[in-house]
A and B are shown apart, each in its own frame.
Chain A
Amino acid sequence: EADIYQTPRYLVIGTGKKITLECSQTMGHDKMYWYQQDPGMELHLIHYSYGVNSTEKGDLSSESTVSRIRTEHFPLTLESARPSHTSQYLCASSVRQSPLHFGNGTRLTVT
């Protein structure tokens, strides 16, 4: 079941462009997360939020920023995309100690 949605699924963009990756969930989960994953590599937490107006940086340093104005929405923004940002970005949500629900990810390529 697709209770957490990420758009776009694939994105190819030139260096220097500003991009926003969208993530929305319909489950009312208070906690949301962004992970970055290079092909064949492990997931790295880059941002998380415990609720509206709450955002924190994760374990892996990232040049991206996030916002949490609404419970269901947790967009990630890159002000100036670079080839080093090429990766897959996965959004997840949870409530209390429930399992994480992941979206299908956005595969970003910066040329």
Chain B
Amino acid sequence: DAKTTQPTSMDCAEGRAANLPCNHSTISGNEYVYWYRQIHSQGPQYIIHGLKNNETNEMASLIITEDRKSSTLILPHATLRDTAVYYCIVIGTNAGKSTFGDGTTLTVKP
């Protein structure tokens, strides 16, 4: 499975959009981009995933570049409860055998 690169940390003002980037330049054609977040060392929580089209659900939007080498997770109106570590991972055929990496620590400030 391809590796990903994310910024170590980001800040966002409460109520503003949080845009979290992820680089996955070695992604292959059958690999999906998944985003999870982890709050206070609880179990990671699934957010969204996509293959090549942009995706949106009740939690977030995922924008994948046309060459699929990078993506951006968008939390449209960040709240204090969105403060967490966000992981971008690339998954092939086995969802669990993926490297989570260090993720991005997002801090939402009042």
Contact = CB atoms under 8 A, between A and B. Distances in A.
Nearest to A94: B95
Interface residues of A, number: 27
Interface stretch (A11-19, A61-69, A78-86, A100-108): A100-108
Contacts, number: 56
Given A94-B96, A97-B93, A42 B103 contact: yes
B103 A45 contact: no
Interface residues of B, number: 21
A48 B103 CA distance: 22
A43 B101 CA distance: 7
B102 A42 contact: yes
B36 A100 contact: yes
A37 interface: yes
Given A97-B32, A99-B46, A42 B100 contact: yes
Given A42-B100, A42-B103, A100-B36, A105 B95 contact: no
Interface of B: 32, 34, 36, 41-46, 49, 91, 93-97, 99-103
